[in-house]
Amino acid sequence: MKYMMYDFFTKDEGEREWLIAILNEHHFEGFEETSDSLKGYVKAAYIRPLLVKEVLFDNDLHHITFEQSEVPEKNWNEEWEKNFEPIVVAGKVGIRAPFHAPLKTEYEIIIEPKMSFGTGHHATTASVIAMMMETDFTEKKVLDFGSGTGVLAILAEKLKAAKIIAVDYEEWAYRNCLENTESNSCVHIHCLKGDDTMVFEEKFDIILANINRQVILKNMEKWKTLMKEKGVLIISGILQSDEAIIMREVKRLKLFADKILRNNGWLAISIKQP
């Protein structure tokens, strides 16, 4: 299948990380950083220049210019595996691929390094993991919205959650989540393919949403209705420059931010019912 390479001209590290986060949601399968730009690779059938312009505009990145060109198909999983390194998050959570040696951390998660976003290497995922380590998951019902690899859902089970529903709208993310939950011998995780139109018949003690500002703002009111009394909503995928926008919505919904983590230009926020 024909691939396209989009070359986004920005030297700003925060903008590059934000681009990687949002382009993962639009079928991009690999990235390469140069001194002047961020290169993103995607199957030609899944993208068009007009859509890329719309994505940049919707995420306040319309000032970034780009060029596109056709490239030979690559084995992106092979490329990913070459650069995937084990990582320890919050001093206790080890995340590695099946081909790495055990990390001997208190909690160890095995992730098959497909192209799903969320391996613990990005500041947003690491920050959510840090917040999870300070949250009581014992016998709790959890919703992981935008689950990607399933790493947060897997950690929730290891932290003794009773039931976890992991949702992602991408077919490859859904399949990767299934594969990873099986690799980690999880029995309480239900992987589902769906989007923000899904209807849930139950309420949750904890909701995890490591996505992006637009999806968070669109769904926060709905998530509030899904939270049990004294429930917790942990969100990330938010640039620090968007903190005021998010906090206005938190206040409008009569919720309160219990804790905020700032990491490399990104935010993670733990939100509770008053």
Residues 133 and 208: their CA atoms lie apart, in Å, by 13
* Greatest alpha-carbon span in the chain: 54
The structure's pTM equals: 0.79
CA distances from 58 to 52, 144, 197, 212 (A): 10, 24, 20, 11
Per-residue confidence (pLDDT) for residue 15, from 0 to 100: 85
- Average pLDDT on 239-259 reads 93
CA distances from 267 to 124, 200, 209, 256 (A): 7, 27, 12, 15
Burial group, residue 118, by CB count within 10 angstroms (0-12, 13-18, 19+): buried
- Average pLDDT on 86-114 reads 90
Judged by DSSP in three states, 193 sits in strand
Give CA angle at 173 (29, 10), nearest 5°. 35
Max mean pLDDT among 42-56, 106-120, 157-171 falls in: 157-171
* Comma-separated ranges of CATH 3.30.70.260 domains in the chain: 3-74
Per-residue confidence (pLDDT) for residue 237, from 0 to 100: 86
Strands 3-8 vs 38-43: parallel, antiparallel or unpaired = antiparallel
The string of pLDDT tens digits covering residues 163-207 is: 999 999 888 789 989 999 999 999 999 999 998 889 999 999 999
Per-residue confidence (pLDDT) for residue 116, from 0 to 100: 47
Per-residue confidence (pLDDT) for residue 16, from 0 to 100: 85
Per-residue confidence (pLDDT) for residue 214, from 0 to 100: 83
Domain boundaries 123-272, CATH class: alpha beta
* Comma-separated ranges of CATH 3.40.50.150 domains in the chain: 123-272
The yes-or-no verdict on residue 260 having pLDDT over 50 is yes
Fold of the domain built from segment(s) 3-74: Alpha-Beta Plaits (3.30.70)
